[in-house]
Amino acid sequence: MNRFALTLEFDGTPFQGLQRQRHGPSVQQAVEEALFRIAGETVTLNSAGRTDAGVHALAMRCHIDLEKDITPFRLMGAINAQLRPDPIAVTACEIVPDDWHARFSCTGRRYLYRIVNRRAPLALLRDRAWQVSPALDADAMHRAAQVLVGHHDFTTFRSVHCQAADPVKSLDLLDVERVGDEVHIHAAARSFLHHQVRSMVGCLKLVGTGTWDKARLAAALAARDRAALGLNAPPYGLYFVEAIYPDSREESQ
- Asked whether residue 250 is domain-assigned, the answer is no
Global pTM reads 0.94
Of the candidates 52, 86, 213, 247, the residue annotated as catalytic is: 52
105, 138, 154 — which closes off a domain?
105
Could you tell me the pLDDT band of residue 21, with boundaries at 50, 70 and 90?
confident
Residues 146 and 205 in one domain: yes
Could you tell me the pLDDT band of residue 248, with boundaries at 50, 70 and 90?
low
pLDDT at 22: 85
Indicate which CATH number applies to the domain containing 16: 3.30.70.580
- Asked whether residue 252 is domain-assigned, the answer is no
37-55 residue pLDDT tens: 999 999 999 999 999 999 9
How many Å apart are CA 220 and CA 222, to the nearest integer?
5
Burial of 197 (0-12, 13-18, 19+ CB in 10 A): buried
Residues 212 and 132 in one domain: yes
In the predicted model, what is the mean pLDDT of residues 112-116?
A: 98
Q: Mean of the per-residue pLDDT values for the chain?
A: 95
Residues 50 and 125 in one domain: no
223-238 residue pLDDT tens: 999 999 999 999 999 9
Q: Give Dmax over CA atoms of the chain in angstroms.
A: 59
CB–CB of 201/113 below 8 Å? yes
- Asked whether residue 253 is domain-assigned, the answer is no
Amino acid at 99: D
Per the model's pLDDT, the better-predicted residue between 251 and 57 turns out to be: 57
Residues 129 and 99 in one domain: no
Residues 227 and 138 in one domain: yes
Query: Does residue 252 surpass a pLDDT of 50?
Result: no
Residues 200 and 145 in one domain: yes
- Residue 127 belongs to domain spanning: 108-244
- Asked whether residue 123 is domain-assigned, the answer is yes
Q: b or e along 108-145 (b: 16 or more beta carbons within 10 Å of the residue's beta carbon)?
A: bbbbbbbbbbeeeeeeeeeebbbbbeeebbbebbbebb
pLDDT at 247: 72
- Is there a catalytic annotation at residue 172? no
71, 105, 139 — which closes off a domain?
105
